[in-house]
Amino acid sequence: QWQRKKKIELHLPPAPKGLPIIGHIHLLGKNPHQDFRRLAQQHGEIMYMRLGSLPIVVVSSPAAAELVLKTHDAVLSDRPHYLSTTRLTYGHRDVIFAPCGPYWCNMRKLCTLELLSGPKINEFQPMRRAELGLTVEGIRRAAEGREVVDVSARVAELVGDMNCLMVFGRKFVDRDLDEELGFKDVIDETTRVAAQPNLGDYFPSVAALDLQGLNRRIKKLSATFDGFLDTIIDDHVEKKEQEKEKKGWYFVDVMMAIMESGGAGFDFDRRHVKAVLLDMLIGGIDTTATTVDWIMSELMKNPTVMKKLQKEIEEVVGLDQMVDKSQLSSFKYLGCVVKESLRLHPVAPLLAHAAQEECELMGYNIPGKTHVFVNVWAIGRDSQVWPDPETFFPERFLGSNIDLRGRDFQLLPFGSGRRSCPGLQLGLMIVQSVVAQLVHCFDWELPDGMLPDQLDMSEKYGMVISRAKHLMAIPTYRLNKIV
Ligand code: HEM
């Protein structure tokens, strides 16, 4: 009776009309971020919905985002837990899905210190430069034969290699992870399956039936990763035995050393190591590669912007050499292009948070454990926030001090607050250097006489929103000599 009374007293945010039992599930299709935006246009910047038995709140304005990510950050920075993420993360022993608390806080600090800090990022700069050089050379050869290049696949491979070299100290070929699917394909498939609405999450009583077969698929994928990570860890243990005196430590070694020392100060076994390593793979590769993919797509769709960017880089670098990392900070227009692309294509369109306990938001009651989504995708396309929002126009950022690091709530591609992306510096640096190099070293043309405005920009929903179709283009080498 007390609970019923409490329910009646709750002043919940406005909600679309729901149905008995299923609530609002029927209102969501293949692209929930787009559906949430459409619904928010009718019901407002803060909206309450129920997916089966699961209460959710969606916010879709900079002011509401600030309340979630700054004002009420302490209460709203838990993560939603789903059947898929629970399995993939060894029961939330990672960083991305770990509940707020000492474990999450310590692991996040550790990842920042050992992999994502400025000095660590610099340590791996020569490796990243060499990998970029290999990719440019591969594309240059394709250009000689006027081949159509799968830009999406090349970028994914490059970013995957860079990331694996930093985390594991070696690269992998496709079949190292799965006999049939490629490395990036398995990561892609995982983020896609994990993001698919699972009836078992909405109706826990039918979870065991696995009506959509999603639990089976995620079980198979997590077994693939588990075997892969076990092999890597075993290799490192063996290598350490043989090369005791050698330094050359990679992130995996640091994790293993903490585990073996027993001095973490919190529970830390092989499952924790694997969960965190998986975060660095899934959190680092797909996000960065997809960001580059969207930027290259927008540049090919907008040839005048491409030319202007090439000119900016050429004026500093000339046409006799590749771009050097030290030159990146002088490319103001490149910064605008990156921001503008992330405004239209934030790779994580919904920041997924959860309420640790009941709180008040914009005068409404938010019950404890409610999932709170910040629709960054909708904010980036809101005409009240951005003039002519659907147009790709990097110049809107010239002379503006709107930043993408989480200070300005109209542009949140890396989130904001205590759950914001710890890989921002690394991710942004890789994005800028890859785009600068691809644009500087090559002219790009769409295949089969396709005109720029015919390029299909459809999205494919997942934990990361990627292009529905790979970006294909014909490169022409534009430097004066082979570098
Ligand atoms: C362009 C590249 C990247 C983008 C756009 C991006 C974006 C994001 C976003 C939007 C979040 C969630 C923020 C929130 O919930 O408020 C996040 C979290 C996270 N990202 Fe990134 N990210 C990128 C690169 C990376 C890289 C390179 C790594 C590491 C190798 C990384 C590791 C993480 C981790 C561990 C979290 C979870 C943080 C936590 O829950 O405490 N990210 N990222």
- Residue 72 binned pLDDT confidence (cut-offs 50, 70, 90): very high
Nearest residue to 147 via CA among 453, 482, 472, 468: 472
Ligand 1 close to Cβ of residue 351 (< 6 A): yes
Q: Of 73, 167, 70, whose CA–CA distance to 356 is shortest? A: 73
Residue 27: what pLDDT?
97
- Close Cβ partners of 324 (under 8 Å, ≥ 6 residues apart): 317
Number of Cβ atoms within 10 Å of the Cβ of 206: 12
**pLDDT at residue 258 in the model:** 85
Atom 19, ligand 1: residue with shortest CA distance:
421
Cα separation, 372 vs 49, in Å, equals 10
- Whether the CA torsion 373, 200, 281, 135 is positive or negative: it is negative
Q: Is residue 219 pLDDT above 70, yes or no?
A: yes
List the domain boundaries for the chain.
Answer: 2-477
pLDDT band at 264 (very low <50, low <70, confident <90, very high): confident
Per-residue pLDDT, 174: 67
Q: Compute the Cα dihedral for 417, 421, 423, 428 and give only its sign.
A: negative
Between 40 and 3, name the one with better pLDDT. Answer: 40
Q: What is the pLDDT of residue 387?
A: 97
For 360, other C-beta atoms within 10 Å of its C-beta total: 12
Answer positive or negative: Cα dihedral of 135, 472, 432, 407. negative
pLDDT of residue 6: 52
Maximum Cα–Cα distance across the chain? 80
The pLDDT of 406-420, averaged and rounded, is 98
Please tell me the least confidently modeled range out of 67-76, 146-155, 190-199, 465-474. 190-199
* Residue of 114, 295, 421 to test ligand 1 pocket, by largest number of atoms within 8 Å of CB: 421
Q: Report the percent of the chain where pLDDT is more than 90.
A: 80
473 lines ligand 1 (CB under 6 A): no
Q: What is the pLDDT of residues 419-433, one digit of tens each?
A: 999 999 999 999 999
- For residues 350 and 374, the answer to whether their CB atoms sit within 8 Å is yes
Q: Nearest 5 degrees, angle CA 194-CA 465-CA 355?
A: 60
Whether residue 7 has pLDDT greater than 70: no
Between the CA of 90 and the centroid of ligand 1 the distance, in Å, is 19
* 8 Å CB contact between 202 and 54: yes
- So what's the pLDDT on residue 247? 57
Residues 6+ apart with CB under 8 A from 448: none
H/E stretch holding 250 reads none
Cα 283 to ligand 1 centre (Å) = 6
Q: pLDDT at position 28, please?
A: 95
Binding-site annotation, residues for heme = 421
**Mean pLDDT score, 336-351:** 97
Helix 151-167 and helix 424-441, axial crossing angle in degrees, nearest 10: 140
What is the C-alpha to C-alpha distance for residues 139 and 465, in angstroms, rounded to an integer? 25
Q: Using a 6 Å cutoff on CB, does residue 463 contact ligand 1?
A: no
Q: What would the mean pLDDT of 356-384 be, rounded to a whole number?
A: 97
pTM of this structure? 0.95
Separation of alpha carbons 147 and 48, rounded Å: 51
Residue range 267-283: mean pLDDT, rounded: 91
Mean pLDDT of the chain: 93
Q: Can you identify the CATH homologous superfamily of domain 2-477?
A: Cytochrome P450 (1.10.630.10)
Q: Is the pLDDT of residue 290 over 70?
A: yes
Q: Is the CB–ligand 1 distance for residue 423 below 6 Å?
A: yes
Residue percentage of the chain with pLDDT more than 70 = 95
The torsion region of residue 91 among left (phi > 0), alpha (psi -120 to 50) and beta comes to left
Cα-Cα end-to-end distance for the chain: 76
164-173, 298-307, 374-383: least confidently modelled range: 164-173
Cβ neighbours, 10 Å, residue 316:
14
Q: Give the pLDDT of residue 371.
A: 97
Q: Is the CB of 280 under 6 A from ligand 1?
A: yes
CA distance 342 to 156: 17
pLDDT of the residue at 239? 77
Helix or strand run (H / E) with residue 30: none
- Distance from residue 319's CA to the centre of ligand 1 (Å): 35
Mean pLDDT of 397-403: 95
Strand-pairing partners, residue 354, are 78, 371
Stretch 457-480: mean pLDDT: 95
State in Å: Cα 206 to ligand 1 middle. Answer: 32
| Helix (H) or strand (E) run with residue 217 in it | helix 214-242
Confidence band of 248 (pLDDT split at 50, 70, 90): low
pLDDT digits (tens, 9 = 90+) for 153-200: 999 999 999 999 999 888 887 667 766 777 777 888 888 898 888 999
* CA–CA dist 86, 80 (Å, integer): 10
The answer to whether the CB of 349 is under 6 A from ligand 1 is: no
pLDDT of 245 above 70: no
* pLDDT tier for residue 243 given thresholds of 50, 70 and 90: low
Q: Is 276 in the pocket of ligand 1 (CB under 6 A)?
A: no
Locus of tokens 């588990």: 226
- At 455 the pLDDT is 98
